[in-house]
Amino acid sequence: MSKNFMIIMIIGVGGLYFLTNVIGEIKDSNSNLQSDNYRENNKYNKYYSSDSIGQDIIDATLADNQTQLEAWRHSSLKVDFIELFPNFDEMKIFIKERVRGTYLINRLNSLINNVEEKYLGGSINVESAKRDINNI
C-alpha cells in the first residue's frame, strides 16, 4: 500500500508542477490572458537580468529616460543600493557595475554626488540622505 501511495504522490506532484509551469508560460506569452495588475507588476521585468558573474543588473539602455527611471524605482536593486549608504564609493561602484543606461547612470551619479556633499557637509542627516536617495 505504501509503495502505491508513494507512486501516486510522485505522479501527482509531477503533474501539479507541470501544470503550474505550463499555465505560467502560457500566461506570460499571451497578453489576452494577463490581467492589468499582472501587466503592471511585470512591466519592467525585461530590464532586469544578470551579468556574467551572476549579479542582478538593470539594463535600460534602449529605453527612454522616463522608462529608465521607472524601471529603477521598481527594481529590487534600489534596495541593495540604499543599503550601501553611507559608503559613497561603494555606491558609485555599484552604479558602474550593475546599472546600464546612460540617462539613469548620469542621474544616479549626480544624485550620489549631491547627497554626499550635503551629508558630509552636515546639512542633512542619515534619514534625509536615504530619503533623497530613495526619491530619485
Residue 98 and residue 73 share a domain: yes
Give the rounded percent of residues in the chain with a pLDDT score beyond 90.
Answer: 21
74 and 99 co-located in one domain: yes
State the total domains in the chain: 2
Tell me the average pLDDT of the chain: 83
Provide the whole-model pTM. 0.65
Cβ count near 2 (within 10 Å) = 6
Average pLDDT over residues 93-109: 91
Q: Quote the strand ranges of 1-136, DSSP E.
A: 48-50, 56-59, 99-100
- At residue 57, the 3 state secondary structure works out as strand
Q: Is the pLDDT of residue 106 over 90?
A: yes
Same domain for 69 and 95? yes
Q: Which domain holds residue 35?
A: 2-40
Residue 56 β-bridge partners: 50
For residues 49 and 76, state if they share a domain.
Answer: yes
Same domain, residue pair 76 and 19: no
Q: How confident is the model at residue 37 (pLDDT cuts 50, 70, 90)?
A: low
- Looking at residue 42, its pLDDT comes to 65
- Residue 56 to residues 59, 62, 76, 94, Cα–Cα distance (Å): 10, 18, 9, 11
Residue 52 sits in the same domain as residue 111 = yes
Same domain, 78 and 35: no
* Whether residue 126 sits in one domain with residue 109: yes
